[in-house]
Amino acid sequence: MLALFLASTLSPALVVAAPRTFTGHDGTTIRANLVGVKDGVVVLRSGRNRNFIPFPNFVLADREYIVATFNERKKPELIAQLLTAALRSPLGAPKQNVTQQRSDIPRAVIPGQQKSNQSQKLDGVPLPSPELLQLPDTRIWTDLLGRQVQAQFEKVTAEGNVALRDGYRSQKLPLVAFIRSDLEYIQQVLKDDLELEVFPPGELQPLTAEQTAAGYRVWTDRKGVTLNAKFVRHFRRDLTLEVDGTNTDFPFHGLSVADRDRVTAENKRRADAARAKAEATQAAAGASAGPSGAGMSPGQPGYRPTTPGYSPPMSNRPDYTPPTFTPPTYTPPTDTQPEFSLPEFEYEFHCDRCGHTWTREHKAVDQCPKCSGGGGAYGEGRRIGRYSGFGALIGLIGFGIRWLLYRRD
């Protein structure tokens, strides 16, 4: 019963494997049994001690063994927990728990806390990896769960995540989630990129007085090769230098660290100068438009905000003249230009009794004037009108509407 109770507190699914010697990235070893996963970390049992160790702290061979064991036990959800936790904290420390014993495998060294000047590595990959001069082609990547994605490798971050680009979308996956062939591919890409030349090799000639006066100086690439050139511009991954009067593009990340810092500082200086020039131009334009209006309230004449580039409305300017309003004049109609009048309508009625037909100026049905009978009827909705000019058109439109409204079935 005690064993079952301990098993239920360790992981959602208990997986007990044969003893094995596990190795950390710093070479420290521990012989223990693989028990399971709890809260995204691997649980090992060494004697009576339980050890909670993050998945990225194991070497590649041990990570492959852990994944293979979970696959044999048909527990892919445990692998997914490990990979998800590795993405959140790929170089995390063991989970702190009052019931656990201290792990014999220390956590990987956190960036910025190296014990030596050598850059730390994870499975042979430096963290972070140097920026590539040329991005490789798109390939298919596979993780330890067998999931695949087609993307382009960009870099490995200091946290141990691999940045992949799929078109315009960039995603990060933990380095420890990839299979061995993908890790070997990353190592080879970084190695080939470091062998690329940035500046053409050759003997450096001393700078002349004319070159120094024109802004030329000595530049150094990441391999230590020097070049006499003048800075022109920097845009994203490209750096343009003037060499012997000709502009040439170089990869920005191929420069030495000191030269990259100088380029960044020069870009900032140029941006500040352009901003100051724009503000001065706006201030000069505002001063030429009139008084600044400092100390005035919004209700006083001549007031305007002090916002750069603000232009006061025309009504506030001293030379503003309001427009004069001239009322329209009425011109009586002439013989050649008849006055417009509404059309005059006459409605036609027909008596069903005696057959007499008569007209009226309104449509109210009345008794027949001939037989005084009550059989007078609006003759099929017809109406007669006297039109002239534009009134004829209105009459036709009205005829159609009334015919639709008053027609008999």
pLDDT in tens, 264-298: 998 899 899 999 999 888 888 877 765 555 555 55
Residue 190 or residue 372, greater confidence: 190
Classify residue 61 by burial, with Cβ atoms within 10 Å: 0-12, 13-18, 19+: exposed
Is residue 22's pLDDT more than 60?
A: yes
**Mean predicted confidence (pLDDT) in 233-245:** 88
Question: Could you say which of 2.30.30, 3.40.1000, 1.10.3470, 3.30.360 is the CATH number of the domain covering 2-88?
Answer: 2.30.30
pLDDT for res 116: 40
Give the torsion through C-alpha atoms of 218, 221, 225, 230, to 10 deg.
-30
Is residue 184's pLDDT more than 90?
A: yes
pLDDT for res 138: 93
pLDDT for res 381: 40
- What gap in Å lies between CA 94 and CA 96, rounded to an integer? 6
For the chain, the structural domain boundaries read 2-88, 121-194, 202-283, 344-406
- What gap in Å lies between CA 124 and CA 184, rounded to an integer? 9
Residue 206 is which amino acid? Answer: P
Q: Is the dihedral of CA 359, 364, 368, 370 positive or negative?
A: negative
- What gap in Å lies between CA 328 and CA 325, rounded to an integer? 9
Sheet hosting strand 49-53, strand order edge to edge = 20-23, 29-38, 41-46, 49-53
Least Cα distance to 26 among 120, 126, 159, 160 occurs for 120
pLDDT for res 8: 42
What are the C-alpha distances in Å from 6 to residues 10, 30, 188? Answer: 6, 21, 45
pLDDT for res 151: 92
- Of 247-251, 304-308, 349-353, 384-388, which range is least confident? 384-388
**Mean of pLDDT over the chain:** 75
- What gap in Å lies between CA 207 and CA 204, rounded to an integer? 9
Residue 401 or residue 191, greater confidence: 191
The 10 Å Cβ neighbour count of residue 371 is 14
Equal CATH topology for 2-88 and 202-283: yes
pLDDT for res 152: 92
| Domain 202-283 bears CATH identifier 1.20.1250.20 | no
pLDDT for res 92: 47
- What gap in Å lies between CA 258 and CA 348, rounded to an integer? 103
- What gap in Å lies between CA 376 and CA 372, rounded to an integer? 9
Write out pLDDT tens, residues 71-129: 888 888 888 888 888 776 555 444 444 334 444 454 443 333 344 434 588 888 888 88
Pick left, alpha or beta for residue 355 (phi over 0 → left; psi -120 to 50 → alpha; otherwise beta).
Answer: left
**Mean predicted confidence (pLDDT) in 327-345:** 56
Is residue 47's pLDDT more than 70?
A: yes
**Mean predicted confidence (pLDDT) in 242-255:** 89
Confidence of residue 140 (pLDDT cuts 50, 70, 90): very high
Is residue 67 a contact partner of residue 58, using CB atoms and an 8 Å limit? no
- What gap in Å lies between CA 38 and CA 51, rounded to an integer? 11
Give me Rg for the CA atoms of the chain: 45
Is residue 347 a contact partner of residue 398, using CB atoms and an 8 Å limit? no
Question: How much is the pTM?
Answer: 0.56
Q: What is the helix (H) or strand (E) element at residue 307, kind and residue range? A: none
The 10 Å Cβ neighbour count of residue 86 is 25
Least Cα distance to 132 among 188, 174, 68, 213 occurs for 188
Provide the token pair at 390.
């534009």
